[in-house]
Amino acid sequence: MWWLLAAALGAAPPIPAVAAGDQAVGICQVATGDPSVGGGQMAAADPALGGCQVAIGDPSVARTAAVPSAAVLMRGLQQRDVDEGPSSEPVNRRKLRLIGLSLLAPGLAHLTEGEKTRGIAYLAADVVCWSTYAGFRVQGGIRKDAYIDYAEQHAGIQEADGRSSEYYQTIASWPNSALYNEFVVAREARDAYPDDLAGREAYYQEHRVPDDQVWDWESQAAQDRFRSKRNHSESAYRSARTMAGLAVVNRVVAMLDAVLFLDQDGRERAMRLDLMPGPEPGGAALCVRVALP
């Protein structure tokens, strides 16, 4: 606009001078003005400002302004992207993903997050728990078949297979069914119907040992042997249930470790779960480790 004013006053409008900027740093230099009236002077850009300087008017009172160039703006955007890193997965979606992977297989979430050591440890513990569970179940079944066969041979039980657990507990505690009927069923009948003989008899006939379930151990040693076999079978089944419980605990611990203590983007965790050797030989302890500054 100022050269229009100069033309109106009779002065020839000067031609703006433009100097090419530094392509390496994206700096431009612009000088405009009328030299006859103290026009613009060529101003070198200050690289520290990341832009260009424009000098207007009288050099003695020249006003300068820093204008960022396009290249500098682009470098700033690129630097911001580097500082912030790639766009992070939403927190809620990430937690749901980690929970699903941990429930599917403990340690799978850790493997997908790059925690190979912990992931393999959780997976190995899961495999050991379920393998041991299967082994104890098989062992319990084999021992159960053994004590059932033994009862058929030494207690005169007919078709002992398929009986309830309470039945086997009873024959392990009483030498024969006649004593059981006399000291257990008859007493319960007297307590239930102290003054009613008909009711007492009806109770006894309903709760006594049926004829197809009677037993009579040939000796006390045989009964003791049966009791030992049955205890070994029940112990194997209890161990199997324990291993199943440990497998569930391992899965829950892996899930909590992944969701609560597994940081995103590979940052160092301030708190984490660790499985360490316990005070007893062969034992283990679950510990929470906190990194202090």
Q: What does the pLDDT look like over 3-40, one tens digit per residue?
A: 444 444 454 445 444 444 444 444 444 444 454 444 44
Residue among 110, 84, 131 at smallest CA distance from 239: 131
Q: How high is the mean pLDDT of the chain?
A: 74
Whole-number Å distance between alpha carbons of 182 and 184? 6
CB 254 within 8 A of CB 106: yes
Mean pLDDT of 206-216: 93
Which token pair is 138? 């098989």
CB 137 within 8 A of CB 243: no
CB 51 within 8 A of CB 75: no
> Which pLDDT score, from 0 to 100, does residue 114 have?
80
Residue with tokens 């082994």: 135
CB 31 within 8 A of CB 55: yes
Indicate if the pLDDT at residue 236 is higher than 90.
yes
Residue among 280, 248, 242, 238 at smallest CA distance from 122: 248
pLDDT band at 243 (very low <50, low <70, confident <90, very high): very high
Tell which wins on pLDDT, 136 or 75.
Answer: 136
Residue among 58, 95, 137, 149 at smallest CA distance from 258: 95
> Which pLDDT score, from 0 to 100, does residue 52 have?
46
Residues 6+ apart with CB under 8 A from 266: 114
- Report pLDDT digits (tens) over 177-204: 999 999 999 999 999 999 899 999 999 9
- Report pLDDT digits (tens) over 51-74: 444 444 454 444 444 445 555 555
Cα separation values, 132 from 37, 126, 127, 241, 244, Å: 98, 10, 8, 10, 9
Which token pair is 136? 């104890």
- Report pLDDT digits (tens) over 71-114: 555 565 555 554 444 445 566 787 788 888 888 888 888 788 88
Residue 245 neighbours by CB distance under 10 Å? 12
> Which pLDDT score, from 0 to 100, does residue 283 have?
62
Whole-number Å distance between alpha carbons of 156 and 193? 33
> Which pLDDT score, from 0 to 100, does residue 36 have?
46
Whole-number Å distance between alpha carbons of 107 and 220? 52
Residues 6+ apart with CB under 8 A from 169: none
Write the DSSP string, 147-204. Answer: HHHHHHHHS--SS-TT--HHHHHHHHH-SBHHHHIIIIIHHHHHHH-SS-HHHHHHHH
> Which pLDDT score, from 0 to 100, does residue 174 have?
96
Whole-number Å distance between alpha carbons of 259 and 188? 57
